[in-house]
Chains A and B, each alone.
Chain A
Amino acid sequence: MSETLFKVTIDNIVIEVPAGTTILNAARKIGGEVAPPTMCYYSKLEGSGGKCRTCLVEVSKGSEKDPRPMPKLVASCRTTVMDGMEVKNITSERVLTARAGVVEFLLINHPLDCPICDQAGECYLQDLSYEHGADKSRFEFQKRTFKKVDLGDKIQLHMTRCILCYRCVLVANQLTNQREHGILDRGDHAQIATYIQKNLQNDFIGNIIDVCPVGALTDKTFRFKNRVWFTKPVDAHRDCNNPKCCGEVRLWMRGDEVYRVTGRIDEWGEVKDASNGKPGWICNECRFDKKKVSDWVIEGPTNVNRHSVISQGHYVNSVLPQETLPEVLNGRQPKLLMDIHNVSEVNKPNIELSALDRPAHSTDF
């Protein structure tokens, strides 16, 4: 069957795509800057998109048949192309203004605690702000904050950083038998929650960490262990006996230590389909429990975009320094002798830096 092809022009670049393709996916085919940024859309999650509004574009010509422009900017991730449609993304002032507005909205209540956030370096909100944000905030109020919550012993929810993209809800809906978390309340007081603090148990729930565009859901087995740009991503696989798990992962290593295991993320920030055709989701066992090099068959270093901060850490041939303490201590393991807070006010334990609604000052330490 021959597919009907529609001709679309995006930022003056013409491309033909099958009918039913969204503007976003047409733009992604062109690639580069023409592809609008996305924070909520995730092609592997049905029903995603439409919410964050970062992917708004201007349709300056509806179609060949009906050339009228669309009056409002449209969410490119949820609008399908028409034959002869003309779209403006970075060539539209309106789009750039609206997008700057969206970025500002996403940031006004964001804690901007990147220095202590595990997502920093691979955070899509950082990228978005860097590319489309202003250098100053016009928001002069207390930021909204939430308490950190443990969703079980492997996943931490840092709701203050959440942008309510709904991706993690869709993962739980579509990948697990039962969704145990969701969105509570509404408006600016809406939050991701389990209602009564519950552990998320399902063996695929770890994927919510990968889909979360910000540092709201992080891997507790990796928490504060390293900065992602100090680690080196390596593609690896193992024979996972969970039938839904694709078994193809990315190991984040330093020296010969595996710090973290994630799915393989593609250039659009989504897990890649595996070579065996399965979607790229991985199970909790692979993610959280297989932290030895010997658990995996190493394929080789991940190709990292050279603009990414991750590619800055060239630790080729780096070796983990020899641990000398046990030797000095005649084979005894070092023991924690005291809590620094008992004797020093440095790093006051009662101040949670991430909960500050402003930058941390010396007085906070």
Chain B
Amino acid sequence: MGSIKLLLEKAHVEGIRYYDVYRREGGYRSVEKALKTMSPETIVEEVKKSGLRGRGGAGFPAGMKWSFIAKPEGVPRHLVCNADESEPGTFKDRYLMEFIPHLLIEGLIVSSFALGSNDTYIYIRGEYAWIVDILEQAIIEAKNNGWLGKNILGSGFDCNIHVQRGAGAYICGEETALIESLEGKRGNPRIKPPFPAVQGLWMRPTVVNNVETLAAVVPIINMGGEEYAKIGVGRSTGTKLISACGNINKPGVYEIDMTISVEEFIYSDEYCGGIANGKRLKACIPGGSSVPILPANLLLKTAKGETRFMNYESLSDGGFASGSMMGSGGFIVLDEDQCVVKNTYTLARFYRHESCGQCSPCREGTGWMEKILWNIESGKGKMSDIDLLWDVQSKIEGNTICPLGDAAAWPVAAAIRHFRDEFEWHITNKEEAQKRNFGLAHYANPIHVPA
């Protein structure tokens, strides 16, 4: 197992980026099936049955989200594809859009039909400038071949896809900030309710989904929701793209079915190919920079001593006390030479820089955390700083408008929770800490599990 490919199966076919090859390889079948033989409601049903969970980070069931969309008479609805992908460690959407753009366009057409969106938007990270051209090329090709535009396949359904570039703000990946930005405003997250499903883009009912989520609609329609749900395990159905990076031999984007273990993912040659340069694994952030970092021992096995798998449930087993999250699938591996304090500082700096600044805990707290972490990292830390840092993060978490506040707090909390002795070492051995790293220490030692 582990080698089922639904999204990237054809990614290496020569010329798959272009319409002719994509179509020859079976592309756009799902549009034919959906528009000719299915109603919007049955598509939503299929997606529900598939168990597909949002691939953007929160893992909210996609079919359920779709069924929430309000349908007031005479008000247009919109589907928005979230291609802002700015979470450090996450680069799966880029891969998908760059190499097999028609898969996304195909998914968007079917999903737009299901949701009744005649104008669908792709909001893409500004730095992905070259991908905009690729997507626009794909959209033109699709349109020229009758998959977009008016009365697609004689179904009476009209659809156009528009690509909009962001301007380099991570916060515009948060769905309501994205909507504001798409409307041409400052990208501040909105205060909810109202939720986008009721009042989103231009106050019209809107669904925002991740690139991978919408691409996954293609195999779901082709094979049927139930078949799709048989892949994977439990509530982690289908396949998931993982962007693996850090100290591994083979960084890259991998499509996994969610039955493989974390250990297999890191060490097998099919995926990461083990830790680079013969080093040992120290820690890992398994789901993009916002999710809790885990030491090697808690990464490979849960606190109960069970094997940890690459799926939503298993990665979060143990809650935040001893688990983490699947998040967006940005898998960041740290070897024994990496410094957790430095790493935490780097992340704190990122969140400080990316906070929109609307709410006080996030605006002020992220900057404060960065400053304290810099002190510890640069040999100016005090023992009381660790508790202070803990307290500051706890006062941000849960008290903000959008989850960026939580995303800034969690990495700090997890680093202190699991690597407190490394922080303390930085403070008690200031000079040494400027010259060498704490190293692996006991972070890979097996954890004693009470019988």
Contact = CB atoms under 8 A, between A and B. Distances in A.
Interface of A: 49-54, 56, 72-73, 75, 78, 97-98, 101-102, 104-106, 108-109, 138-139, 141, 144, 163-164, 166, 182-183, 185-190
B363 A75 contact: no
Most chain B CB within a 10 A radius of its CB, from A54, A101, A102, A138? A101
B363 A183 contact: no
Interface residues of B, number: 28
Contacts of A166: 358
A360 B398 CA distance: 37
B366 interface: yes
A73 B398 contact: yes
Interface in B320-375: 352-361, 363-368, 371
Contact of B361 (A101, A185, A186): A101
A322 to B, nearest CB: 50
B360 A188 contact: no
A188 B395 contact: no
A227 to B, nearest CB: 28
B399 A187 contact: no
A105 B186 CA distance: 23
A187 B354 contact: yes
A78 B191 contact: yes
Contacts of B399: 53, 56, 72-73, 98, 101-102
13 contacts: A52-B359, A53-B360, A53-B400, A73-B399, A101-B396, A104-B395, A105-B361, A106-B360, A138-B388, A164-B357, A164-B360, A187-B355, A190-B363
Given A51-B359, A164-B357, A164-B358, A188 B364 contact: yes
B191 A188 contact: no
Interface of B: 169, 171, 186, 191, 352-361, 363-368, 371, 388, 395-396, 398-401
B391 to A, nearest CB: 8
Nearest to A101: B395
Given A105-B363, A138-B388, A187-B353, 12 more contacts: A50-B401, A56-B399, A105-B365, A139-B368, A164-B360, A183-B357, A186-B171, A186-B355, A186-B356, A187-B354, A188-B352, A190-B357
Contacts, number: 90
Secondary structure class of chain B's binding surface, majority of residues: helix
Nearest to B169: A186
A186 B357 contact: yes
A102 B356 CA distance: 17
Nearest to A52: B360
Contacts of A51: 358-360, 401
A307 B49 CA distance: 63
A52 B361 CA distance: 8
A31 to B, nearest CB: 25
Which 7 A-B pairs give the minimum distances between C-beta atoms? A101-B395, A190-B357, A50-B191, A105-B364, A187-B355, A188-B367, A187-B357
B238 to A, nearest CB: 28
B367 A187 contact: yes
A166 B363 CA distance: 14
B401 A187 contact: no
B360 A102 contact: yes
Nearest to A77: B191
Contacts of B358: 51, 164, 166
Contacts of B171: 186
Contacts of A105: 360-361, 363-365, 368, 395
A30 to B, nearest CB: 24
A73 B394 CA distance: 13
B304 to A, nearest CB: 25
